[in-house]
Amino acid sequence: MKKDLSADKPALRLVSWNVNGLRAVLDRGFLDAFRRLDADIFALQEIKAFPEQLPEAARSIPGYQAWWHPAKKKGYSGVAVFSRKEPLNVIYGLGREDFDSEGRVLTLELADFYFVAAYFPNAQDGLKRLTFKLDFNRAMLAHLNHLAAEKSVLLCGDLNVAHKEIDLANPKANVQNPGFSPEERAGLEEILQAGYADTFRLFHPEPNRYSWWSYRTAARQRNVGWRIDYFLVDAKSQSRVRAAEIHDDIHGSDHCPVSVEFA
């Protein structure tokens, strides 16, 4: 029997957090949470800022290098990745201007895996951006498959969709709403069926675990939320995932961080 070499390796802690405005969350304990989570690689979504708009304390966190892919539009979207590990290569976007101008994807190539940080489009009220989102899903799947042909792949970020009824508090009331429409759920299912696993569900079958809560109606206090933030891993690399968590005790954004331990 071939030995699983990852069993002997120390695990990396990988974290993803939609901060819904990095400048705003800096005033709500972001740096304390960042240090507490102690990630080897930390991905952010919805930074809503250009690096030059941020204080030095956010741009240069001791022990980390940072890569930024802001949207061209001010105050909108954007992703960033902080890493203790020096990547072999950094890929900005998916190679399509309509996606890349919105600052949605950063890919870091490490020695034995790819780390893909992404902020998937919101289908928006009336599902008016549904076609755009489904196009993005297909482009992302092609990107993942291309990378997975070479080495392990982890995709993390705000996918802006709850996969199953267990992944939101009020599924029946949201069937036609953005984030839980049949088309969006099918789009995520297509990625999973193509050979990518939802790491949280590998370890946590229980209900009532969410990563996003509306700011309205005291939703977070009542835990009326959605699980829309994920780490996905290619099927052949599932054994490298040692743990997956939702850090719902960390506040500051309408999302909370999610993490995996990856050997």
Catalytic residue of the set 158, 198, 234, 254: 158
Average pLDDT, the chain: 96
Residue bearing tokens 């972001």: 30
User: Is there a catalytic annotation at residue 158?
Assistant: yes
- 3-state SS assignment for residue 212: strand
pTM: 0.96
In CATH terms, the fold of domain 5-262 is Deoxyribonuclease I; Chain A (3.60.10)
> pLDDT tens digit string along 136-165?
999 999 999 999 999 999 999 999 999 999
Checking 237-240 for CB contacts under 8 A at 24+ apart, the result is 237/113, 237/152, 237/153, 237/154, 238/197, 238/202, 239/4, 239/6, 239/7, 240/6, 240/113, 240/152
> pLDDT tens digit string along 224-248?
999 999 999 999 999 999 999 999 9
Domain ranges of the chain: 5-262
- 3-state SS assignment for residue 2: coil
